[in-house]
Structure 1
């Protein structure tokens, strides 16, 4: 079965006065049809930057320096801006962390949905409005017919995020990138939004990249999980395997910091130190300054590569 998305050796660079930074460094993964891939890591790990590279929304001077991005077998990282605009919305949908950044405050939400549907699906204005209403009903907006002409500020945060999900799915894309879709919401609303996103994507057969720093969200929603650290992919695998038997010490630290894994201890586990700045990465494994298991090999070039599911010279659970 052909992958919906193939990211191959992706490198994103940002030129600065102090040199070139690599917020995404040699990242590769595949995404199957209907699969939800969770991408997790600390702030600055490169999660959102990878998603922005896929959808072509890198802010200059950030740019793709090397690698390939294939969507349904077609390379998209080298498309002209005009062609990439056609891909966004139609083939790739986006759910942002703050719905107010992706909704026009001056235009009723029904009109925003209708315009997207009309543009990407080529239907009449009447048919587009009908589909916009169906989209709002599908995401659970109460009295959707009466709310079509409401403005974004007239909705609660949770309802706005439902509208954004409807906007992301209304043109029937094969891939949706959800960037921290629940961070700004109450815990009870978070669970509703994750359940809604899972259900809709299963029903539509849409693949999802779910970017988050919350391992609890990953455990609830994802089929597989990719763990990023300092711009690099350090572990990837089925979510249950990674959560129960993490191979990389960084992943083990993330899993151990989940309240569900506290085992009655008065304090949660924490990873010592902080992620290094991109202009001050240590030699060898970028995690070696925070890793209690680091040895001399970890502090010297070359750095470990993603083999056996983890970019670590001495992966956890390895008898050798």
Structure 2
């Protein structure tokens, strides 16, 4: 089974959405786990709930601190916990542009309206004042502009004739607890599909000099133009259930050494293995693309003519 994505949750108060994400994460098929809950209020109730459930917590009041200093400390805590994605769950403090930039595409928020309607506060009162018959909630990627990132998912909630802002908010909150875990699960797995993994490999491999993509026995492969192959994309080859990149090694000795050292990452492919090729698994989550890029470059050097290989 692929490793679960490591999620950090930022809260300010009771953390009801954090709790919904946490309990959803304990389902066997959930692709993420909560590894840290952080709050800008050390007394936030949500921190106590998380701690009771065995989740690491971090609480630090932001009053009197410069935003950049606070966000730097927060970022250090998140990275120290190995967080890969951030979920904002009632986090009421604006984050700096620098912090948001560092987590671009990997930080989400849930907002109690059908965005782009009613950004900011008092969403339910504004919906009632407008005479809306439908309210709801949205999960979106976080950008510098408040509540303006790409929407990843929404859920509608009917507005009753006698609704108040409080009664509508209570039903929308139930919808939030249903929507947020599902959308977060979709986000952390979207970059792990075979199509997404192949797209990332293309980006790296085709940036190398004279590299081109070919089909080899129906499998996407990368070659030096007019020359030898230096990489193959393998997805469930003959039903082995593995998605991987196949690259050249210096020979069987290096291949065996690598597999012995990291048997969960490296493997000996069925057909190319006897020639010294090795498989790098891409289906276990948290792919180290810098490491994959190093292997593609190394394999490219072995396949490229000497004159071309000396270019980089």
Instruction: Tell me, yes or no, whether TM beats 0.5.
Output: no
TM-score normalised according to structure 1 size: 0.28
Structure whose alpha-carbon radius of gyration is higher: 2
User: Which structure exhibits the higher relative contact order, with contacts defined as CA atoms closer than 8 Å and separated by 6 or more residues?
Assistant: 1
TM-score normalised according to structure 2 size: 0.28
